[in-house]
A and B are shown apart, each in its own frame.
Chain A
Amino acid sequence: MDSVERPTWAPGDIDLGRPSIARVYDYWLGGAHNFAVDRAVGDRVLADVPVLKSVILNHRAFLRRAVRHLLSQGIRQFLDLGSGIPTVGNVHEIAQAVDPTAKVVYVDIDPVAVAHSRAILTGNELVGVLQTDVRDARGVIKSPEVRNLLDFDRPIGVLMVALLHFVPDSDDPHGIVAAYRDALPSGSHLAVSHAGYEDGEWDPAWDDAKSVYNRGVSEITYRRKQEVQALFTGFELVEPGVERLPLWRPESPDDLDEHSARFLGFGAMGRKP
């Protein structure tokens, strides 16, 4: 995420000389919505930590499973925070395949990702795109894109997939989550996937990759299971609670392997009572 110290009226930087986290993700997911600088960083990180590829795919797969679960709970409105480049398997595709009237608002700070989203969503009246800093919960909630599309008298599914590990403690992730929580109607859900590990699991060999990632893409803050759980203050955790990402409601036993239990990240969903 870019620094957002600028005033809200100022346009974001569009500097193609610097990698964009949204485009690096697209590259890892097999898309071509990216540039050489994005691919170079993506390749360097992958070379150091090959497992990262499966990590990325797992976050994307979690998004799919989470949206499908929310749909099964009757939720038809979605707020996808940090949505990135719409590659494949986007929230509105998953949701509208089940219910063509489902509504989605995508929020990202990357102006290119947002421009691309707007281009391919032209004509889809049930999907909105908002360019802003998702840390500004009040700004997001009060935005016309959100207010015009989402009905705050009915439950909303808020998605923070592979998002909060880019929010350092100094930016008060708890406060951000709480601000969204307070604005949501009862019955709303929050889905979070988050990079993390438990004590003793860190492989020192990953330090280089971490620093490449931090410098090239974005500062990443790993959190322990307990810390992820703490983000759900004010929510009732949905079964199975905070779990290793592949183990959170897997679709098939075949999707699991011997690494799943030590997967470098957690998934969880909570319901606002």
Chain B
Amino acid sequence: MTEQVDHRVATPGRSNLDPAVLAGAESFARTWATAVIGSSYVPMTRAEVAEHLQALTEVLVHALHASPFRTAPGYEIGARLVDAHFTGTDTLGRTVQLLGDDLLGELGIAPDELMRSRLAALQGALSAGYARALRERTLAEQEAIRAAVLDARDQAEAALRASEARFRAMFTEAAIGIGIADIEGRILDVNQALQDMLGFSVEEMRQYNIRDLMHPEDGSSVWRLYDQLTAGECDHYRAEKRFRRADGEQVWTHLTLSLVRDDHGDPQYQVAMIEDVTDRHLLQNRLRYQALHDPLTGLPNRALFLERLGRVFNSRARRRAGLCYLDLDGFKVINDSLGHDIGDRLLVEVGRRLDHSVSGEGKLVARMGGDEFVILVEGSRDTRDIVDVADRVLRELESPIRIGGHELTVSASIGIVERELAGTTAADLMRDADITLYWAKADGKSRWALYDPERNAREVARFTLSATMPAALERDEFYVDYQPLVRLEDSTVVGVEALVRWQHPEFGRLAPDRFIELAEETGLIVPLGRWVLRRACGQARRWLEEFGEAAPFVSVNLAVRQSRDPELVRDVKRILDECALPPHHLQLELTESAIMGTADEPLEALRALSDMGVRIAIDDFGTGYSNLAYLKHLPVHELKIAGSFMEGLRAADEEDAVDAQIVSTLVQLAHALRLGVTAEGVETPAQAKRLHRIGCDTGQGWFFAKPMKPEDIDELLRR
């Protein structure tokens, strides 16, 4: 550094000195070094210090003896001490004292008046030189450190100015809105972006307090967090917030508010960073609207409806709720015949009418898709409320809809569910409404149906049965019982009616009325009927083998669907052949409607069967509307009079004259046509006696025997 010191002082005239004096000088220098080392930091080793001081000592020796005597060397020595950084305050004192005490003695100089005087003069000069050099050094160092302070300050300020300029630029140029307010909320500064965003100038903004920017739609958390922030309880928070612009428009923003604290940690300023997210917000709203509304009708869509329904269940703010599940009747026909455009416009109009007729708090009309609509009523008092809605809707749809020159009349079917929310779910409600809509359709359309849990339970059971029936047939869960047909004249068993049963693993033994209708619906009746026929024929064959001519014929019921099965004749023939059963041992029972209401083909089949030798009986005769004139042309051998007519013949004293007359007439009619007559449902001896008297040929009923297993029939026959 510039203060580098040349401490290797020249030793002028060293060789001139007497060796004894030189040794004395060396000795003094060592003592001197010991005295001053440690008084201040000198960048030399102890040896270097001693060497340095010895050189100064030699200068002193020369000065003492010099002629003429001068004090300048003493002055120079003082300065050199300071140059070597002997700047400690003790250095000078110890040096002056040591010079006075030891120097002359060490050098072997007699302390006479002259020498004492010269030494004193040199001591004084040394002190003055030292003081002056130290003063200069001190002033220089003070000057240097002050200059350094100024330099450092300049640099710091330049850096501060640069950083301030950077921050000012950042504040001014930022694309994000920035505002600064004091802790009371007085706005101090806002940048250009924020002025542009809100449409106020900085001067206008400075008139405002933050609280003036409150918006009625602000979430409560925005201002709760604001209070916490200004209280110093939190340092920043983010929120979505709306502002009103100067022009009255709204700006949606994403706001970040930060607290700036002073050096003591106390809240000082608040800084708001505000990002305009209006476009994003509107887009989100539009996307959300689109996601939740049907583009055709503008009504809420399935998603929004389900969301709302879910909320009804989650909030439980209401105790009850109801649904109308609505489907246009015959919409497909309109769509297919008039085109989708007309169909779409029809849906728009229907949607409009629904929306119009159903309005108000807690009601929602949604399009579920296709021509299905749903109406949600929250907080209904009872079912009547929803029925009112459904009635209103049906009325609203009554007036024809005019579209593109077409005058369209539409009707709708509505399934209604209304109940307490407790104990049910949104999914239950939807499913039940859907089922109920199906009922409304099945019950004849253009009407509403109300959900009925018992009907539902029945349907569920029916469904279960019909679904398990095919497997049951394969697993041999069906079996056949036989009920004797008894000749009234001599009480002989002439035939047996085959009655199918289902030994259901879950529901137990099921009578035909539980499953035959289902089997008709599903079509399973054909294979089931064929199975019964084969089973009955097989049994008849065994009886024939055992009892010969005394063996009974079997009478097997033929369902409507079976009678129309083109394979019927072939099936019967094959089964008879397989069982080697003579055809007259088989009687087929058909209902009146199956025979009367038929077209030609089934009749052909019956005729073929009859020609084959199979007996044909009309079951439940008298309950339908038989064309009696037609009867005579039919290939029929037997009439079975329905059991309902037997009521009036139950007991002698309770005889119903009308019933008796009907039965009597029927018997006469049958006999006139040369048909046999069987009375069903015979339960008492009186009935049996009366029927015999009337002329009835055969009886069937509990009075004679209940349906029984084939082995039990064997027993009867053996008697």
| B314 contacts A by Cβ under 8 Å | no
Are A119 and B41 closer than 8 Å at their CB atoms?
Answer: no
Residues of A within 8 A of B41 (CB): 29-30, 56-57, 60-61, 87-89
Look across to chain B and name the residue whose beta carbon is closest to the beta carbon of A113.
B148
| A66 contacts B by Cβ under 8 Å | no
| B468 contacts A by Cβ under 8 Å | no
- Of the candidate stretches B157-165, B275-283, B315-323, B668-676, the one touching chain A is B157-165
Chain A interface size range: 35 or more
- Grouping DSSP codes into helix (H, G, I), strand (E, B) and loop, the B interface class, with mixed when no group exceeds half, is helix
Are A93 and B85 closer than 8 Å at their CB atoms?
Answer: no
Are B156 and A111 closer than 8 Å at their CB atoms?
Answer: yes
Are A30 and B151 closer than 8 Å at their CB atoms?
Answer: no
- Report B591 CB to chain A, min CB distance, Å: 100
Are A115 and B46 closer than 8 Å at their CB atoms?
Answer: no
- Report B6 CB to chain A, min CB distance, Å: 11
B residues 136-151 near A (Cβ < 8 Å) are 137-139, 141-142, 144-145, 147-149, 151
| B4 contacts A by Cβ under 8 Å | yes
Q: Report the Cα distance A60→B151, complex, angstroms.
A: 26
| A12 contacts B by Cβ under 8 Å | yes
Residues of A within 8 A of B142 (CB): 32-33
Look across to chain A and name the residue whose beta carbon is closest to the beta carbon of B160.
A11
Residues of A within 8 A of B47 (CB): 251-252
Are B85 and A92 closer than 8 Å at their CB atoms?
Answer: no
Residues of B within 8 A of A92 (CB): 1
Interface centre among B4, B40, B45, B152, by most A CB within 10 Å? B152
| B262 contacts A by Cβ under 8 Å | no
Q: Report the Cα distance A54→B5, complex, angstroms.
A: 23
Cβ-defined partner of B148 (8 Å) among A87, A89, A90, A112? A112
Interface centre among B145, B152, B153, B159, by most A CB within 10 Å? B145
Q: A30-B88, A32-B142, A112-B152 are in contact. Are A119 and B147 (CB under 8 A)?
A: yes
Q: Report the Cα distance A251→B39, complex, angstroms.
A: 18
B residues 47-68 near A (Cβ < 8 Å) are 47
Q: Report the Cα distance A225→B659, complex, angstroms.
A: 129
Q: A32-B137, A33-B144, A34-B145 are in contact. Are A115 and B1 (CB under 8 A)?
A: no
Look across to chain A and name the residue whose beta carbon is closest to the beta carbon of B2.
A120
Cβ-defined partner of A54 (8 Å) among B38, B45, B85, B138? B38
Q: How many residues of B contact A (CB 8 A)?
A: 37
Residues of B within 8 A of A56 (CB): 41
Residues of B within 8 A of A180 (CB): none
Q: Report the Cα distance A92→B43, complex, angstroms.
A: 12
A-contact bits for B77-89, CB 8 A (1 contact / 0 none): 0000000010110
Cβ-defined partner of A115 (8 Å) among B3, B45, B85, B149? B149
Q: A92-B1, A115-B152 are in contact. Are A255 and B46 (CB under 8 A)?
A: yes
Are B144 and A116 closer than 8 Å at their CB atoms?
Answer: yes
Q: A93-B43, A111-B155 are in contact. Are A31 and B2 (CB under 8 A)?
A: no
| A197 contacts B by Cβ under 8 Å | no
Residues of B within 8 A of A116 (CB): 144-145, 147-148, 151
Residues of A within 8 A of B141 (CB): 31-33
Residues of A within 8 A of B85 (CB): 30, 87-89
| B42 contacts A by Cβ under 8 Å | yes
| A216 contacts B by Cβ under 8 Å | no
A residues 113-145 near B (Cβ < 8 Å) are 113-116, 118-121
| A14 contacts B by Cβ under 8 Å | yes
B-contact bits for A154-190, CB 8 A (1 contact / 0 none): 0000000000000000000000000000000000000
Interface centre among A35, A89, A115, by most B CB within 10 Å? A115
Are B156 and A12 closer than 8 Å at their CB atoms?
Answer: yes
Residues of B within 8 A of A54 (CB): 38
Are B1 and A86 closer than 8 Å at their CB atoms?
Answer: yes
Interface centre among B87, B88, B149, by most A CB within 10 Å? B149
Q: Report the Cα distance A120→B151, complex, angstroms.
A: 12
Are B1 and A23 closer than 8 Å at their CB atoms?
Answer: no
- Report A8 CB to chain B, min CB distance, Å: 11
- Report A240 CB to chain B, min CB distance, Å: 18
Are B144 and A119 closer than 8 Å at their CB atoms?
Answer: yes
Cβ-defined partner of B87 (8 Å) among A30, A89, A114? A30
Q: A54-B38, A121-B1 are in contact. Are A11 and B155 (CB under 8 A)?
A: yes
Residues of B within 8 A of A121 (CB): 1
- Report A138 CB to chain B, min CB distance, Å: 21
Are A88 and B5 closer than 8 Å at their CB atoms?
Answer: yes
Cβ-defined partner of B45 (8 Å) among A33, A34, A57, A251? A251
| A85 contacts B by Cβ under 8 Å | yes
Q: Report the Cα distance A181→B156, complex, angstroms.
A: 31
Residues of B within 8 A of A53 (CB): 38
Are A254 and B38 closer than 8 Å at their CB atoms?
Answer: no
Are A14 and B145 closer than 8 Å at their CB atoms?
Answer: no
Q: Report the Cα distance A11→B153, complex, angstroms.
A: 9
A residues 201-245 near B (Cβ < 8 Å) are none
Are B1 and A114 closer than 8 Å at their CB atoms?
Answer: no
Are A14 and B153 closer than 8 Å at their CB atoms?
Answer: yes
Residues of A within 8 A of B151 (CB): 115-116, 118-119
Are B159 and A16 closer than 8 Å at their CB atoms?
Answer: no
| A271 contacts B by Cβ under 8 Å | no
Interface centre among B3, B41, B142, by most A CB within 10 Å? B41
Cβ-defined partner of A14 (8 Å) among B38, B88, B152? B152
Are A10 and B88 closer than 8 Å at their CB atoms?
Answer: no
Residues of A within 8 A of B40 (CB): 29-30
Look across to chain A and name the residue whose beta carbon is closest to the beta carbon of B5.
A88
| A52 contacts B by Cβ under 8 Å | no
A residues 9-23 near B (Cβ < 8 Å) are 9-12, 14, 16, 23
Are A93 and B1 closer than 8 Å at their CB atoms?
Answer: yes
Residues of B within 8 A of A85 (CB): 145
Look across to chain A and name the residue whose beta carbon is closest to the beta carbon of B33.
A254
Cβ-defined partner of B4 (8 Å) among A61, A93, A114? A93
Q: Report the Cα distance A23→B144, complex, angstroms.
A: 12
Residues of A within 8 A of B38 (CB): 53-54, 57
A residues 36-58 near B (Cβ < 8 Å) are 53-54, 56-57
Could you list 13 further interchain pairs (A-B, Cβ under 8 angstroms) beyond the known A112-B148, A254-B34? A10-B159, A11-B157, A30-B39, A31-B141, A54-B38, A60-B43, A61-B41, A92-B1, A94-B43, A111-B156, A112-B145, A121-B1, A251-B46
Residues on A lying within 8 angstroms of B by beta carbon are 9-12, 14, 16, 23, 29-35, 53-54, 56-57, 60-61, 64, 85-90, 92-94, 111-116, 118-121, 251-252, 254-255
25 A–B contact pairs at CB < 8 A?
A: A9-B159, A11-B160, A14-B149, A16-B149, A35-B145, A53-B38, A54-B38, A56-B41, A60-B41, A61-B41, A87-B85, A88-B3, A88-B5, A89-B42, A89-B85, A92-B1, A94-B43, A112-B145, A114-B152, A115-B152, A116-B151, A118-B151, A119-B151, A120-B144, A251-B46
Residues on B lying within 8 angstroms of A by beta carbon are 1-5, 34, 38-43, 45-47, 85, 87-88, 137-139, 141-142, 144-145, 147-149, 151-153, 155-157, 159-160, 163
Query: What are the 6 closest A-B residue pairs judged by CB atoms, nearest first?
Result: A89-B43, A30-B40, A11-B156, A116-B148, A32-B141, A115-B151
